[in-house]
């Protein structure tokens, strides 16, 4: 008989969901499984040109069921399913959706199945940049600074901007929308059999960092703050929440329906959800004042500090600071970059155009061989670029890039900003440009560290987790060189899912606190990158060039925006 107790951590990323089955006594991975979202993979409901990125809830549901059942199958012992005691979920965010009174996403209801506005609005969807700008301007009219705990700037990646945009552009969704729910709050509600949107337990993490909930306000800002911005928001706070819950609390227990679908029992405790980077920081064994960088398509940087040490200090230009959003009893501070791995993926896609567009019509090789060759070359592009870029001589006048390919998250959110590459010549080739892009993402990381330091928050070390941290020694060494700080890489592959499993062990009462779960289930670090002191002076000069170029790009974009607005005004007149 199985004597150990097991937990499941579910991690919803931008492209896929992964689940892990963990022995709670020692953090041993029993099994893992990953599911790529089929509708997302096929590019449905998205328009990158318009910064529209939507995901269908069916992708989430199908992935949840597949990965958990696959983990249990791989475990090979039927008794393990009965020994699973807890399950917790993390997701991307802010990734909210319109739901009906029963808490069902509208895309799962008749008439809305193919409507992108009725689906989850993925974190990197920037269709609400105008709404975010209006929220920022509107907040200046109030005596209370309702943006004080989100760095003073509201982002188009977040809860209220996305809600207002959807209400404005889609009348059918506006009429059917009863409430607005984050992905990380909806999955636990689904698993526990919820049937009333008013009973959804809202996580402290998502509410504080994206929805303007704060202990000081006694909940959300008042209705007047929103209704005076746009009458469409009048009364909406009454459909949302006042109370929030840290992720060491239970959302409930697995419903009979979901227990049967997954092959588990109704004794499985389901935890309150949170964002991937916040649970990932726990899985990566975060320490006070150590910056945990979850490096994937974007980065999300998490730092925790004791509440009594932070005091009244507010850090401007970050993605919020919330008591208990990461570890209960500590202040969680969030920053990040809107494009990290996505920057490399963009470059890979661009230089792969001949492979994707022409190879299939080759008159030299057959279709099957062409497809196999395309797949082989595609898999080798980034690793080979990294090797060749690392061999390049390093000079102050090399190609220089700005990493705002999906806008700027922090410091000082501005999703209207664009990426740039300068210093190009006829001698510029793919490895040189790739190196400039990698350097730009590292400079973006440095700007975040510098903001914390400028605001009086020490950064004692860097913890790297996520796909890029595990797969790219070239980028990690460059980041250590640019930051001038060592970077420890957590050895666990699915660190965000491990963090979710740690929270699951707490909600299942296996461990009394998150810290206890981290100590017992943490897997430690397997690689550490140390900065090359000889490169310090050159990188400092390059970083100044990066900031100067960024300031120029920002000015040009603002100028162009002003010109466009004036042209529109003349046309209307």
β-bridge pairing 461-465 and 269-271: unpaired
Alpha carbons within 13 A on the beta-carbon side of 374: 20
In 362-429, alpha helices (H): 367-391
Nearest residue to 553 (alpha-carbon basis) of 380, 458, 419: 419
Provide the CA 252 distance to its chain's centre, in angstroms.
25
CB atoms within 10 A of CB 212: 26
* Dihedral angle of Cα 264, 270, 275, 280, to the nearest 10 degrees: -70
CB atoms within 10 A of CB 198: 13
Whether 203 contacts 244, CB under 8 Å? yes
Positive or negative: CA dihedral 236, 238, 240, 245: positive
At 560 the pLDDT is: 85
Q: What contacts 248, CB < 8 A, 6 or more positions away?
A: 271, 272, 328, 503, 506, 507, 513, 514
At 250 the pLDDT is: 98
Query: Which two three-digit tokens encode residue 421?
Result: 């590459």
What is the number of residues in the chain?
573
Positive or negative: CA dihedral 323, 325, 327, 331: negative
- Percent of residues in the chain assigned helix, strand, coil, to nearest 5: 45, 20, 35
Whether 495 contacts 466, CB under 8 Å? yes
Distance CA 264, CA 267 (A): 8
Instruction: Scan for tokens 């020490």, then name that residue.
Output: 458
Burial of 398 (0-12, 13-18, 19+ CB in 10 A): middle
Bridge-partner residues for 98, per DSSP? 180
Q: What are the backbone angles phi and psi of residue 334, rounded to the nearest 5°?
A: -120, 135
* H or E, element range at 499: helix 495-507
Query: Which two three-digit tokens encode residue 185?
Result: 């709050």
At 487 the pLDDT is: 97
The per-residue b/e assignment along 91-114, b for 16 or more CB within 10 angstroms, e otherwise, is: bbbbbbbbbbeebbbbbbeeebee
Give the end-to-end CA distance of the chain in Å, rounded to a whole number.
80
At 4 the pLDDT is: 85
The per-residue b/e assignment along 428-443, b for 16 or more CB within 10 angstroms, e otherwise, is: eebbbbbbbbbbbbbb
Query: Which two three-digit tokens encode residue 258?
Result: 């979901």
Please name each of the domains of the chain with its CATH number: 6-284+492-527 (3.30.420.40), 341-454+534-559 (3.30.420.40)
Query: ∠200-205-209 over CA atoms, to 5°?
Result: 115
Whether 179 contacts 250, CB under 8 Å? no
DSSP result, 135-177? HHHHHTTSSS-TTGGGTT---TTSHHHHHHHHHHH-HHHHHH-
Distance CA 274, CA 117 (A): 23
Nearest residue to 338 (alpha-carbon basis) of 268, 281, 409: 409
At 408 the pLDDT is: 95
Instruction: Scan for tokens 């249990």, then name that residue.
Output: 72
* Order of strands across the sheet that contains 290-295: 321-323, 330-337, 299-306, 290-295, 461-465, 487-490, 525-529
Distance CA 405, CA 339 (A): 6
Whether 377 contacts 355, CB under 8 Å? yes
Distance CA 18, CA 34 (A): 4
* Angle at which helices 341-351 and 430-454 cross, to 10°: 160
Write out pLDDT tens, residues 38-61. 999 999 999 999 999 999 999 999
Query: ∠32-34-35 over CA atoms, to 5°?
Result: 150
Provide the CA 442 distance to its chain's centre, in angstroms.
18
For the chain, residues with pLDDT lower than 70 are 1-2, 563-573
Whether 293 contacts 463, CB under 8 Å? yes
At 466 the pLDDT is: 87
Bridge-partner residues for 44, per DSSP? none
Instruction: Scan for tokens 């202040």, then name that residue.
Output: 331
């Amino acid at each position: 008989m199985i004597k150990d107790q097991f937990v499941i951590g579910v991690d919803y990323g931008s492209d896929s969901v992964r689940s892990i089955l963990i022995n709670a006594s020692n953090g041993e991975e029993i099994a893992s499984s990953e599911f790529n979202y089929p509708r997302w993979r096929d590019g449905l409901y998205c328009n990158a040109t318009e910064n529209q990125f939507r995901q269908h809830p069916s992708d989430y549901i199908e992935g949840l069921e597949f990965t958990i059942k696959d983990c249990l199958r791989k475990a090979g012992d039927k008794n393990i399913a009965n020994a699973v005691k807890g399950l917790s979920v993390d997701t991307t965010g802010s990734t909210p959706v319109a739901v009906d009174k029963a808490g069902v996403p509208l895309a799962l209801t008749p008439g809305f199945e193919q409507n992108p506005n009725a689906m989850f609005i993925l974190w990197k969807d920037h269709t609400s940049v105008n709404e975010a700008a209006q929220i920022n301007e509107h907040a200046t009219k109030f005596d209370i600074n309702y943006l004080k705990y989100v760095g003073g700037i509201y982002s188009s990646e977040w809860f209220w901007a996305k809600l207002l945009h959807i209400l404005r552009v889609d009348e059918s969704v506006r009429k059917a929308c009863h409430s607005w729910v984050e992905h990380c709050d909806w999955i636990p509600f689904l698993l526990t059999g919820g049937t009333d949107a008013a009973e959804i337990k809202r996580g402290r993490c998502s509410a504080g960092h994206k929805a303007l909930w704060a202990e000081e306000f006694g909940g959300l800002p008042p209705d007047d703050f929103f209704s005076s911005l746009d009458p469409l928001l009048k009364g909406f706070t009454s459909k949302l929440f006042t109370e929030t819950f840290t992720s060491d609390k239970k959302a409930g227990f697995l419903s009979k329906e979901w227990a049967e679908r997954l092959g588990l029992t109704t004794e499985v405790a389901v935890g309150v959800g949170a964002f991937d980077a916040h649970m990932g920081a726990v899985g990566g064994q975060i320490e006070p004042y150590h910056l945990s960088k979850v490096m994937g398509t974007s980065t999300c940087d998490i730092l925790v500090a004791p509440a009594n040490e932070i005091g009244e200090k507010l850090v401007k230009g970050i993605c919020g600071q919330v008591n208990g959003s990461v570890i209960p009893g500590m202040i969680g501070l969030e920053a990040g970059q809107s494009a990290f791995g996505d920057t490399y993926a963009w470059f890979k896609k661009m230089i792969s155009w001949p492979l994707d567009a022409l190879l299939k019509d080759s008159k030299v090789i057959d279709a099957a061989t062409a497809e196999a060759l395309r797949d082989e070359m595609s898999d080798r592009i980034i690793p080979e670029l990294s090797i060749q870029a690392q061999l390049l001589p390093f000079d102050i006048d090399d190609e220089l890039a700005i990493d705002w390919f999906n806008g700027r998250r922090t410091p000082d959110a501005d999703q209207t900003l664009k990426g740039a590459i300068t210093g190009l010549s006829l001698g510029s080739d793919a490895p040189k440009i790739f190196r400039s892009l990698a350097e730009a993402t590292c400079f973006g990381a440095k700007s975040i560290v510098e903001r914390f330091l400028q605001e009086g928050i020490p950064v004692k070390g860097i913890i790297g987790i996520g796909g890029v941290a595990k797969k790219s020694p070239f980028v990690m060494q460059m980041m250590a060189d640019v930051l001038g700080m060592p970077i420890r890489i957590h050895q666990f592959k699915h660190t965000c899912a491990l963090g979710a499993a740690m929270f699951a062990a707490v909600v299942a009462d296996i461990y009394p606190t998150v810290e206890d779960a981290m100590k017992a289930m943490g897997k430690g670090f397997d690689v550490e990158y140390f900065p090359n002191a000889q490169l310090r002076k050159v990188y400092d000069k390059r970083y100044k060039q990066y900031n100067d170029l960024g300031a120029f790009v920002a000015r040009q974009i603002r100028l162009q925006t002003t010109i466009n607005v004036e042209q529109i005004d003349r046309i209307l007149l």
